A = this chain, B = another copy of it.
Amino acid sequence: MQILTGRQIYKHFKEYSGKELSLCGWVKSNRDSRDFGFLVINDGTFFEPIQIVYEKKLTNFNQIKKLSVGTAVIVKGVLAETPDARQPFEIQASSIEVEGESPSDYPLQKKRHSFEYLRTIAHLRPRANIFQAVYRVRSLIAYAIHKFFMERDFIYVHTPIISGQDCEGAGEMFQVTTLDLKELSEGKKLDYREDFFEKETNLTVSGQLNGEAFAQAFRNIYTFGPTFRAEESNTTRHAAEFWMIEPEMAFADLEDNMLLAESMIKYIIHYVLEQAPEEMKFFHQFVDKGLLDRLHHVAESEFARITYTEAVEILKQHNDKFQYPVSWGTDLQTEHERYLTEKVYKKPVFVTDYPKEIKAFYMKQNPDGKTVAAVDLLVPGIGEIIGGSQREDDLEKLQKRMEELQMNLSDYDFYMDLRKYGSTRHSGFGLGFERMVMYVTGMANIRDVIPFPRTVGKCEY
């Protein structure tokens, strides 16, 4: 007999009513009295567990009575609807087979554990309710993103993880090497011709430049892959390894970029609300009280739009409220971003046209000579969630800017070629995947939305 999943049983319990079926899972709790007992199990495919009723007639009744939390079992039984109970049905067991026992030192006993403790058992924490919800929603968001872009005929591009690009100004990078560090430290000469790629290489910080090459061939593309920063910041929002989504569109300006970002955010929220109502209710109740209201509001708002210069004018009037006062030319801090989106607009805001000095070399220079066609999307509760721009498509202007910044032009030959041969206005943005997961779940620490997080000093499992 096929072993059904918990999700299959929940979705179709009316059809299974009165019928015998097989299911499996891990024991969440076990209550017994003299002649019968209740085993609550979950196989991880559905947020709600399933209650198994077992009676003395089972040949292994005495074994089952003693089963402890975490034990894996396979159950045969008849589904009975229980319209008056909290659960819509239960299973009356005809057999319960023990698949794998769980000794009493099982670290996930039925009680509340701190996030700090659960981080020390990252291989077991996915079995805890809250992480069942987090990782299922993480998986659904990933799929929503693919689905969104595929429905719009974007091409998914795997940009390289190991990079030979010089990537100035991208912050600290991890080096990738096959050279023997022990030998080096013992006096061997450093010669990159002996390294695997015969040059210095590092882990990518962004797939954008490669993505642009593909947008100039397929018009609409996106990347979705891991990126890396070797920053020593030990905060709740920094991880050394995280995933990023970077769409890029040829024949598209900043306006098209904002339309795409707004539709994508709304699409993801709708998809998760629809596909994981049980998990979202749980987050709303136990993790972040305002969550569902905030998400519904965002999904239904028309996002506001404002230039950086206008934003600075508004914020300057409230400089007494900020740790860092605002003036034209300084970058916006999270406190400013949140003030704009939470107090001023009470909904998501696109801020555009930032001073060129605080933005990357590749952003399109505006006619005013001072600003570039950048756009950040700020959302309530978090601040910046997306950063993007229209790209400089004029070869001369791009070269001039790179020279001003004393960049090594010869490292960017391929990138220049994209402006030389059939250049187009084009735009794109980056969405930090983990930031989106935190936003949708209300989880406050990036370590708790990544399966096995990598942060400074931590690379376990």
Interface membership of A327, Cβ < 8 A = no
Query: Which residues of A (30-66) have their CB < 8 Å from a CB of B?
Result: 43-45
Q: A43-B251, A226-B226 are in contact. List 4 more A-B contacts (CB 8 A).
A: A43-B250, A162-B174, A165-B461, A182-B190
CB distance from A34 to the nearest CB of B (A): 27
Say which residue of B26, B176, B210, B425 sits within 8 Å of A99 (CB atoms).
B425
CB distance from A233 to the nearest CB of B (A): 12
Q: Is A160 in contact with B422, judged by CB distance below 8 angstroms? A: no
Q: Is A100 in contact with B456, judged by CB distance below 8 angstroms? A: no
A-B contact pairs, 26 of them (CB 8 A): A24-B251, A24-B424, A44-B217, A45-B153, A70-B421, A72-B424, A100-B419, A101-B422, A106-B422, A123-B210, A124-B213, A124-B217, A126-B218, A132-B217, A135-B218, A143-B150, A162-B454, A164-B459, A175-B178, A175-B179, A178-B230, A181-B190, A184-B184, A197-B459, A199-B459, A201-B459
Q: Is A214 in contact with B126, judged by CB distance below 8 angstroms? A: yes
Q: Is A156 in contact with B181, judged by CB distance below 8 angstroms? A: no
Q: Is A423 in contact with B100, judged by CB distance below 8 angstroms? A: yes
Q: Is A127 in contact with B163, judged by CB distance below 8 angstroms? A: no
* Complex contacts, A155 vs chain B, CB 8 Å: 44, 135-136, 139
Binary contact track A394-409/B, C-beta < 8 Å → 1, others 0: 0000000000000000
Q: Is B159 in contact with A452, judged by CB distance below 8 angstroms? A: yes
Which one of A143, A179, A218 has the highest number of Cβ atoms from chain B below 10 Å of its Cβ? A218
Which one of A100, A138, A213, A460 has the highest number of Cβ atoms from chain B below 10 Å of its Cβ? A100
Interface membership of A83, Cβ < 8 A = no
Complex: how many Å from CA A126 to CA B181? Answer: 38
Query: Contact residues of A with B, CB < 8 Å?
Result: 3, 5, 7, 24-27, 43-45, 70-72, 74, 99-103, 106-107, 122-124, 126-127, 131-132, 135-136, 138-139, 142-143, 146, 150, 153, 155-165, 172, 174-179, 181-182, 184-185, 187-190, 196-199, 201, 203, 210, 213-214, 216-220, 225-226, 228, 230, 232, 240-241, 243, 250-251, 393, 414-415, 417-425, 450-452, 454, 456-461
Say which residue of B182, B414, B450 sits within 8 Å of A461 (CB atoms).
B414
Q: Is A190 in contact with B198, judged by CB distance below 8 angstroms? A: no
CB distance from A313 to the nearest CB of B (A): 33
* Chain B residue at minimum C-beta to C-beta distance from A418: B123
Complex: how many Å from CA A452 to CA B27? Answer: 47
Q: Is A177 in contact with B175, judged by CB distance below 8 angstroms? A: yes
* Complex contacts, A135 vs chain B, CB 8 Å: 155, 157, 214, 217-218
Complex: how many Å from CA A188 to CA B184? Answer: 9
Q: Is B44 in contact with A218, judged by CB distance below 8 angstroms? A: yes
CB distance from A108 to the nearest CB of B (A): 8
Known: A45-B220, A190-B182, A218-B44. A196 touches B230 (CB 8 A): yes
* Chain B residue at minimum C-beta to C-beta distance from A160: B452
Q: Is B100 in contact with A219, judged by CB distance below 8 angstroms? A: no
* Complex contacts, A185 vs chain B, CB 8 Å: 184-185, 187-190
Q: Is A172 in contact with B178, judged by CB distance below 8 angstroms? A: yes
Say which residue of B132, B184, B217 sits within 8 Å of A218 (CB atoms).
B132
CB distance from A5 to the nearest CB of B (A): 6
Complex: how many Å from CA A460 to CA B417? Answer: 14
Known: A99-B251, A213-B461, A451-B158. A179 touches B178 (CB 8 A): no
Q: Is A136 in contact with B218, judged by CB distance below 8 angstroms? A: yes
Closest 10 CB pairs of A and B: A100-B423, A126-B217, A185-B190, A44-B218, A197-B459, A123-B414, A164-B459, A123-B213, A72-B422, A184-B184
* Complex contacts, A176 vs chain B, CB 8 Å: 174-176, 203
* Complex contacts, A199 vs chain B, CB 8 Å: 459
Q: Is B181 in contact with A174, judged by CB distance below 8 angstroms? A: no
